[in-house]
Amino acid sequence: MDPMANDSSTPTQIDLYWRPGCGFCSSLRGQLDKLGIERVEHNIWDEPAKASIVRQHANGNETVPTVVVGGVGMVNPSPRELAAHLAANAPHLLPADFEEPQPNAVGRALGKIFG
């Protein structure tokens, strides 16, 4: 028996809140597609009640993309930040063959500068 099957605190999905015309949303959605990370998407313009969830996690603002996993909200996360959160807190939501995204040349340079 799966020990996590009856745990109500175990996240069951990734919720991604977005809106049309948002370049950051399009970028994150595309990168998550490439990584094979499945999620439930909510267009806050089509579902105004969902905008209140975003405001709860974004200091009262409707900043998108906002990702919520098990009650933890991340405002405009990078795919790397989201993957790290999932690996630590909800690895069952990652694809079986998941490989952590590697930083590009700019990310590597910034990592050397800022540690």
Q: Check whether 62 has a pLDDT greater than 90.
A: yes
Q: Give the residue extent of every domain in the chain.
A: 14-114
Coil/strand/helix, residue 43: strand
75-114 pLDDT, tens digit each? 999 999 999 999 999 999 999 888 776 666 666 666 677 7
Question: Does residue 5 carry a pLDDT above 60?
Answer: no
* Integer Cα distance of 66 and 64 in angstroms: 5
CATH of domain 14-114: 3.40.30.10
Q: Work out the number of other CB atoms within 10 angstroms of the CB of residue 3.
A: 7
Per cent of the chain over pLDDT 70 is: 83
pTM given for the model: 0.80
